[in-house]
Chains A and B, each alone.
Chain A
Amino acid sequence: MLIKLAGGKVYDPANNIDGEIRDIYIRDGAIVDTPPASEPVHRSYPLDGKIVMAGAIDLHTHIGGGKVNIARTMLPEDQRGHTRERTALTRSGGGHAAPSTLTAGYRYAEMGYTTCFEPAILPVNARQAHMEMADTPMLDTGGYAMLGSDELLLQLMAEGAEQETINDYVAWTLHASQCIGIKVVNPGGISAFKFNTRELDVDDSHPYYPITPRDIVRTLSRALTDLGVPHPLHVHASNLGVPGNFSSTLATMDAAEGLPIHLTHIQFHSYGAEGDRKFSSSAAQIVEAVNRQPNISMDIGQIMFGQTITVSGDTMRQHANHGHAHPNKWTCMDIECDAGCGVVPFRYRDQNFVNALQWAIGLELFLMMDDPWRVFLTTDHPNGAPFTSYPHLIRLLMDRSFRNDLLAQINPDAAASSHLGSLDREYSLYEIAIMTRAAPARILGLADRGHLRPGAIADITVYHPADNPEKMFEKPMLVFKDGQVVVEEGRITRPVKGSTQVVRPEYDRGIEKRLSRWFDRYHSIKLQNFRISDDEMAEGIGSPVSIHPCDRKRTA
């Protein structure tokens, strides 16, 4: 069956197409070349200048895994206030900051998203993360496995294991946990907290192993480069949320020694300690460093005012912040000599100096960053705000007067200590398409999406043009998933299920002997049962894998 999207205004930055009127053809779920005129078109959508982009990709959103279920359990009030009724086509559910899986999938699709990545999968909890994502309909999903506070890696590093051995372990972890990337959270810090260490800066030694966070970042980024894994090491840097932490963030950039790394929710890592309140914006220093170092990319983790819940693997920092919990309840968990998690509800207030400045810092970072290919649109859902605030965030980036109106309403001292008001930049639709489609696909190594070239899967979003970008982005006219219309005028019309995106770097399977011995001696699970097979993904977990290539040519 041949489908034609006729006369849409196409924004496809991967192919340098900036708002040109074009036709797009779809056959068997994929975008195809313009067929000969003799070939019959079975279904044609006259788009008459509607905005056409590839389906959006969120590269950092906490939508699956144990910590999200803890958040749901702790906040029944979050569900109660945001119910979603069952329809003839869709299941019931609800929630705002910690939505049910089904609701999350529907809402993402209703905003034109077609692929999402859970950025913090504990390998030991990977089954749950994938099961939750399999129950998040409408989306293709994937995840980053957390390493860097697992005792096994730290022990290998402390014993001076060869980089080759570490590489094998990293590759094994990607296979065993069915992930597409590696994330490090407060490098070494989650483990250090289990030894009662409350602070760990980039060059501090771990309390038990003679290694530093700098060593961990360097070793893991080297491993991913050697293995040819497309996505750079995904780094939640040391000292999240601490005033003055920008110096840790700069040191973390330095630790990569020129290898690719991605700094996530960098807003929470761009704080100075200047001024009367010892809290200030260091966005300028951070952006200057990122602009200068092409090996570095970042997503923002923008905050929005209102109630949310913070979920993180960073037990050290989450525990330190539990005094800010609103409502006053919090959970921390030490997990399996693997990692941990901390869940703290939070309400960002526009009249609070710190929260207001956090909001401004996120926007400063977006607006000062030169290269939209290296900055990604995230709220670190739900840590800065729920993902449903993306259309509002896009308006803040595209509409300077709207932004300045809101700036005038926040805590005046915070507004005065930010130079957000002096930033004139307004993002274009083309740049928004880069940040939310083309660039995430490129940095994740997803050649089959994020663009509209023939050969891409036909994940396409069509928007009504509108003066107010928030209105435009919150309710697409049409969303195609694998060539089928799944959303019309912002409502689900066809529920579908997605697949799990993974990479499979080559490695020496001999590492399993060593790992198996370690598991037998110390773990409470057998290595055999830790590992998730492709059959298990497809038949048991309910989301078949889709394998993306690694580039062994990058091997030094």
Chain B
Amino acid sequence: MWNTRIETVMSEVTCPGCGLSCDDLRLEMDNGQLKSLENGCALARSHYSSAFDTASKGAEIKGKGVSLEAALDYGAELLSSAHNPLFAGLATDVNGMRATLELADRCGASLDHMNGDALFRNIRVMQDSGWFTTTFTEARNRADLIVLGGKQWIDRFPRLIERILHPAESLFSPPDDRQFVLLGPWDAAALPDELQRLSPQVIPMQLEQLSDTASLLRGLIAGRPVNARSLGNSVGSQLEELAGQLKAARYSVVSWSAAELDFPHAELTIQNLVDLVKDLNRTTRSAALPLAGTLADTTSNQVCTWQLGYPLRTGLQRGYPEHDPILNRYQDLLKRQEADLLLWLSSLSPQAHPPATDAPTIVLGHPGMAFDNAPDLYIPTGIPGVDHPGHWYRGDSVCPLPLGQLRESALPAVSQVMTALNDKLQHFAGL
């Protein structure tokens, strides 16, 4: 569905509020205002209400209103005088990212997403060892044992239980027979109701202990002489039991949200979880379900990977792509003053502001953004899925879904702004 026809009631709308990308939303509009929203969670409500609360507005140079043409001229001037521009944020749709990469190639820019830290906790595991994963529909129909690391998933992916973990129906694994195991800083006596209803086993632990936990489980499953009680007697005996459950499960699913694992070298924790899954597949079936996709991190990374051959955190300064997942972290490029221009792309959230920097800053962003310190240039852009149609990836990386258009809008799409800037730079170059 590539929807550019706007009706009063739009159904089967895909929501970019989180990486679950539920595509069963029903929105009713009245005179360009949102009247009702069905099937949406709290994140969806917040996404659509901030979108519909925002009136269209014009571009600004240092906080002063200018025409779009003047803004594009100024943007092209800033870009052409920069030696090492940094394109970061990158919360946009597929076509926005395509046009961004074309401009980045011309300008020799470096690229990183606002969620780069979380994204690369997972990607570095793929680069080092690969992994074994599953997707939403597969887990929904097949999982009989679900192990969830951490606790933020319940807020970050609000409809995960309803849509995947415990759906109304399933092809191969009756939802009521499923076993759930929670590894993380949970208080078993104070679980949220919807989680309590699943009667999960809770193995309380700090996030930093997940890595050791996965290692111990691997040892127990392989029959090596490991001492699970090193994590405490109670946790130890639960892990011994869990090792047995994992071996006996027909299709276990191990899940985490890398954004929550916000501590040094958390990629090694993910590595251990992935290796646990790989080990289990020697005798039974198991798969990982990394939860991601927030603010288009999966989307912009996918497009970058096919067009440049590398994931994000790639630079084009030398006329060809060079990738380094550590050196090209946008926060560090700015801190080391290695970027002399920041182009911040944030078309999905009015809150995702650019980092403070001395470098000249261009923001292509959500029309609802308000700045304490006005950037050198702000071009409000259309919200994909509201102001213009687009494509967006779910967090399981496999399913790019169409985002329809919900209202008439004068706001340019990120792809249009990037293409216009590219044309101007091409003109400067005399080509």
Q: Which residues of A contact B (CB under 8 A)?
A: 64, 66, 68-70, 72-74, 76, 78-80, 83-86, 88, 91-95, 98-103, 122, 124-125, 127-128, 131-132, 135, 151, 193-196, 208, 319, 325, 328-338, 343, 521-526, 528-529, 531, 533, 535-536, 539-542
Name the segment of B145-153, B191-199, B229-237, B308-316 touching the other chain: B308-316
The reply to whether A84 and B431 contact each other, CB–CB distance below 8 Å, is: no
The reply to whether B105 and A524 contact each other, CB–CB distance below 8 Å, is: no
The reply to whether A523 and B132 contact each other, CB–CB distance below 8 Å, is: no
- Among candidates B23, B128, B138, B311, residue contacting A194 with C-beta atoms closer than 8 Å: B138
The reply to whether A93 and B307 contact each other, CB–CB distance below 8 Å, is: yes
The reply to whether B320 and A94 contact each other, CB–CB distance below 8 Å, is: yes
The reply to whether B323 and A76 contact each other, CB–CB distance below 8 Å, is: yes
What are 20 A-B residue pairs whose CB atoms fall within 8 Å in the complex?
A73-B311, A86-B320, A92-B316, A127-B399, A127-B400, A128-B398, A131-B303, A131-B391, A131-B400, A325-B130, A328-B129, A329-B127, A330-B130, A334-B138, A336-B136, A337-B138, A525-B23, A525-B401, A536-B1, A540-B402
The reply to whether A92 and B163 contact each other, CB–CB distance below 8 Å, is: no
- Among candidates B12, B170, B306, residue contacting A522 with C-beta atoms closer than 8 Å: B170
The reply to whether A79 and B323 contact each other, CB–CB distance below 8 Å, is: yes
Question: Counting CB contacts under 8 A, is B42 at the interface?
Answer: no
Question: Counting CB contacts under 8 A, is B389 at the interface?
Answer: yes
Given contacts A80-B323, A83-B321, A536-B1, 12 further A-B contacts (CB under 8 A): A72-B310, A86-B106, A91-B307, A92-B105, A93-B308, A101-B306, A193-B285, A196-B284, A328-B129, A336-B138, A524-B163, A525-B23
Question: Counting CB contacts under 8 A, is B373 at the interface?
Answer: no
User: How far is B23's CA from A524's CA once the two chains are assembled, in angstroms?
Assistant: 8
Q: Which residues of B contact A64 (CB under 8 A)?
A: 306
The reply to whether A86 and B309 contact each other, CB–CB distance below 8 Å, is: no
User: How far is B334's CA from A276's CA once the two chains are assembled, in angstroms?
Assistant: 62
Question: Counting CB contacts under 8 A, is B241 at the interface?
Answer: no
User: How far is B310's CA from A93's CA once the two chains are assembled, in angstroms?
Assistant: 9
Q: Which of B304-358 contact A (CB under 8 A)?
A: 305-311, 316, 319-321, 323
Q: Which residues of B contact A99 (CB under 8 A)?
A: 309
User: How far is B167's CA from A337's CA once the two chains are assembled, in angstroms?
Assistant: 15
Q: Which residues of B contact A73 (CB under 8 A)?
A: 123, 126-127, 305, 311
Question: Counting CB contacts under 8 A, is B133 at the interface?
Answer: yes
- Among candidates A94, A95, A334, residue contacting B287 with C-beta atoms closer than 8 Å: A334
Q: Which residues of A contact B130 (CB under 8 A)?
A: 74, 325, 329-331, 343
Q: Which residues of B contact A539 (CB under 8 A)?
A: 2, 389
Q: Which residues of A contact B115 (CB under 8 A)?
A: none
User: How far is B402's CA from A328's CA once the two chains are assembled, in angstroms?
Assistant: 37
Quick one: closest B residue to A98, CB to CB? B309
The reply to whether B302 and A69 contact each other, CB–CB distance below 8 Å, is: yes
Q: Which of B282-306 contact A (CB under 8 A)?
A: 284-285, 287, 302-303, 305-306
User: How far is B138's CA from A332's CA once the two chains are assembled, in angstroms?
Assistant: 14
Question: Counting CB contacts under 8 A, is B38 at the interface?
Answer: no
User: How far is B397's CA from A284's CA once the two chains are assembled, in angstroms?
Assistant: 43
Report the minimal beta-carbon distance from A176 to chain B, rounded to whole angstroms.
11
- Given A73-B126, A100-B307, A135-B306, A194 contacting B1 (CB threshold 8 A): no
Report the minimal beta-carbon distance from B289 to chain A, rounded to whole angstroms.
10
User: How far is B97's CA from A88's CA once the two chains are assembled, in angstroms?
Assistant: 21
- Given A196-B250, A333-B132, A93 contacting B321 (CB threshold 8 A): yes
- Among candidates A325, A332, A525, residue contacting B399 with C-beta atoms closer than 8 Å: A525
Quick one: closest A residue to B14, CB to CB? A529
User: How far is B215's CA from A538's CA once the two chains are assembled, in angstroms?
Assistant: 49
Quick one: closest B residue to A526, CB to CB? B12
Report the minimal beta-carbon distance from A139 to chain B, rounded to whole angstroms.
15
The reply to whether B12 and A528 contact each other, CB–CB distance below 8 Å, is: yes
- Judged by DSSP, the binding face of A is mixed
Question: Counting CB contacts under 8 A, is B166 at the interface?
Answer: no
The reply to whether A540 and B319 contact each other, CB–CB distance below 8 Å, is: no
The reply to whether B132 and A208 contact each other, CB–CB distance below 8 Å, is: no
The reply to whether B311 and A522 contact each other, CB–CB distance below 8 Å, is: no
Chain A proximity mask over B98-109: 1 for CB below 8 Å, otherwise 0:
100010011000
User: How far is B133's CA from A78's CA once the two chains are assembled, in angstroms?
Assistant: 23
User: How far is B137's CA from A135's CA once the two chains are assembled, in angstroms?
Assistant: 28
Quick one: closest A residue to B288, CB to CB? A333
Q: Which residues of B contact A128 (CB under 8 A)?
A: 302, 398, 400
The reply to whether A334 and B134 contact each other, CB–CB distance below 8 Å, is: yes
User: How far is B399's CA from A73's CA once the two chains are assembled, in angstroms?
Assistant: 17
Q: Which residues of A contact B105 (CB under 8 A)?
A: 86, 91-92
The reply to whether B140 and A333 contact each other, CB–CB distance below 8 Å, is: no
- Given A93-B307, A523-B137, A536 contacting B2 (CB threshold 8 A): yes
Report the minimal beta-carbon distance from A155 to chain B, rounded to whole angstroms.
8
- Among candidates A84, A325, A335, A337, residue contacting B141 with C-beta atoms closer than 8 Å: A337
Question: Counting CB contacts under 8 A, is B190 at the interface?
Answer: no
Q: Which residues of B contact A122 (CB under 8 A)?
A: 398
Q: Which residues of A contact B1 (CB under 8 A)?
A: 528-529, 531, 533, 536
The 9 closest A-B pairs by CB, nearest first: A536-B2, A100-B309, A331-B130, A524-B136, A83-B320, A79-B309, A336-B137, A329-B130, A95-B309
User: How far is B130's CA from A72's CA once the two chains are assembled, in angstroms?
Assistant: 11
Q: Which residues of B contact A124 (CB under 8 A)?
A: 137, 398-399
Report the minimal beta-carbon distance from B20 to chain A, rounded to whole angstroms.
8
User: How far is B160's CA from A390's CA once the two chains are assembled, in angstroms?
Assistant: 47
Report the minimal beta-carbon distance from B253 to chain A, rounded to whole angstroms.
10
Q: Which residues of A contact B308 (CB under 8 A)?
A: 92-93, 100
The reply to whether B306 and A72 contact each other, CB–CB distance below 8 Å, is: yes
Quick one: closest A residue to B140, CB to CB? A524
Question: Counting CB contacts under 8 A, is B423 at the interface?
Answer: no
Report the minimal beta-carbon distance from A69 to chain B, rounded to whole angstroms.
5
Q: Which residues of A contact B133 (CB under 8 A)?
A: 331-334
Report the minimal beta-carbon distance from B109 to chain A, rounded to whole angstroms.
12
The reply to whether B287 and A103 contact each other, CB–CB distance below 8 Å, is: no
The reply to whether B320 and A85 contact each other, CB–CB distance below 8 Å, is: yes
Question: Counting CB contacts under 8 A, is B386 at the interface?
Answer: no
